[in-house]
Amino acid sequence: GQPVITLNNGTYIPALGFGVWQMENLEECEKAVIKAIEVGYRMIDTAAIYQNETAVGKAIKNSGIDREDLFVTSKLWVQDHGYEKAKSAFQRTLNRLQLDYLDMYLIHWPFGDFLGAWKAMEELYEEGKIKAIGVCNFTIEKLEELKPHSTVSPVINQVELHPIFQQKELRAYNQENNIITQPWSPLGNGNAELLESPVLKKIAFNHNKSTAQIILRWHLQEGFCVIPKSVTPSRIEQNFNVFDFELTESEMNMIRSLDTGKRLFFDPKDPAWEEKMLNAVADI
Ligand code: A2P
């Protein structure tokens, strides 16, 4: 079997999964997920706001894989925060995925009434409809805000993280609190400067691997649960082919030194971003 990570509630998640953010073309998404399952991925990471849960559901069904062999994650959208709305949004997600439970359900952004949403998720978790619950894009402050209002601790905090932006402080906090860090856009969303970095190229040459594979291996060796996205069959396969080599401690350190401390994407602390998300019109 492939490497798994144990979550704080005793469940397991594959260490490497398949991300489907930015797969707006549903046919392409369905094909990509089928390809991913074919080459061995056993974890799929989607979200209501990606608007491709239907395609993911079809792919799962058509792949012929047994449900219990797959780990399926989705995320609750900001507009569905609050106790009641979260419950019905979860049901709609299940319907679109044609599933009767989720392996993991995450709060997508820590805005609006996420405490009410968490309460609903805790109940769904206790009922067995979700096997593990977690969060995304939570800062230390938001995790501290959630703590006194929760009886179930989040298993994962999914945040922007790649060699350019390594989140050292938040990672340390997650670790102290038994929360697994799950990077989104682990390849920096295909950022050319990253993928063509001379440091990575040199390490890639040493191992006869691509720079993308080196980055994914770095994530795995840091203990992260990583979910690269690709719609390109050869890359889908390549990104899964990272279990047959190991980076040395000195190579790990070379990659650690690429941290600029600057994100490439949205800042959860930016009030303008929060405002935009709270008002984003989403009929999902
Ligand atoms: P594509 O989907 O066209 O194959 P991230 O997961 O960090 O958000 O990165 C996703 C981006 O990186 C996509 O644009 C994807 O392109 C690209 N990508 C994924 N895998 C590789 C790879 N092995 N080599 C180069 N680019 C890749």
pLDDT, residue 281, reads 65
- Confirm or reject: Cβ of 231 under 6 Å from ligand 1: yes
**How many other C-beta atoms can be found within 10 angstroms of the C-beta atom of residue 55?**
25
- Position in ligand 1 atom list of the atom nearest CA 239: 23
Q: How far is CA 49 from the centre of its chain?
A: 14
Atom 27 of ligand 1, nearest CA residue: 190
- Confirm or reject: Cβ of 239 under 6 Å from ligand 1: yes
- Position in ligand 1 atom list of the atom nearest CA 187: 7
Residue type, 58: K
pLDDT per residue rounded down to tens, the chain (284 residues): 899 999 999 999 999 999 999 999 999 999 999 999 999 999 999 999 999 999 999 999 999 999 999 999 999 999 999 999 999 999 999 999 999 999 999 999 999 999 999 999 999 999 999 999 999 999 999 999 999 999 999 999 999 999 999 999 999 999 999 999 999 999 999 999 999 999 999 999 999 999 999 999 999 999 999 999 999 999 999 999 999 999 999 999 999 999 999 999 999 999 999 999 888 766 56
* Helical H segments across the chain, by residue range: 26-39, 53-63, 83-97, 114-126, 140-146, 168-176, 192-195, 198-207, 211-222, 233-240, 249-256, 271-279
- Confirm or reject: Cβ of 228 under 6 Å from ligand 1: yes
Helix (H, G, I), strand (E, B) or coil at 100: coil
Q: Which residues are annotated as catalytic?
A: 50
Identify whether the C-beta of residue 171 lies closer than 8 Å to the C-beta of residue 52: no
ipTM: 0.99
Atom 24 of ligand 1, nearest CA residue: 212
Where do the structural domains in the chain lie, given as residue ranges? 14-279
Alpha-carbon Rg for the chain in angstroms: 18
- What distance in Å separates the CA atoms of residue 37 and residue 43, rounded to the nearest whole number? 9
Identify whether the C-beta of residue 273 lies closer than 8 Å to the C-beta of residue 266: yes
Token pair of 145 as six digits: 């805000």
Half-sphere exposure of 72 (CA within 13 A, CB side): 28
Centroid of ligand 1 to alpha carbon of 264 (angstroms): 15
Could you say which DSSP state residue 188 is in? G
Contacts of 134 (CB under 8 A, 6+ apart): 104, 105, 106, 107, 154, 155, 156, 157, 158, 179, 182
Helix (H, G, I), strand (E, B) or coil at 157: strand
- Confirm or reject: Cβ of 187 under 6 Å from ligand 1: yes
- Class of the domain covering 14-279: alpha beta
Identify whether the C-beta of residue 20 lies closer than 8 Å to the C-beta of residue 229: yes
pLDDT, residue 284, reads 63
**Residue 149 marked ligand-binding:** no
Half-sphere exposure of 99 (CA within 13 A, CB side): 29
Given the DSSP bridges, would you call strands 156-160 and 133-136 parallel, antiparallel or unpaired? parallel
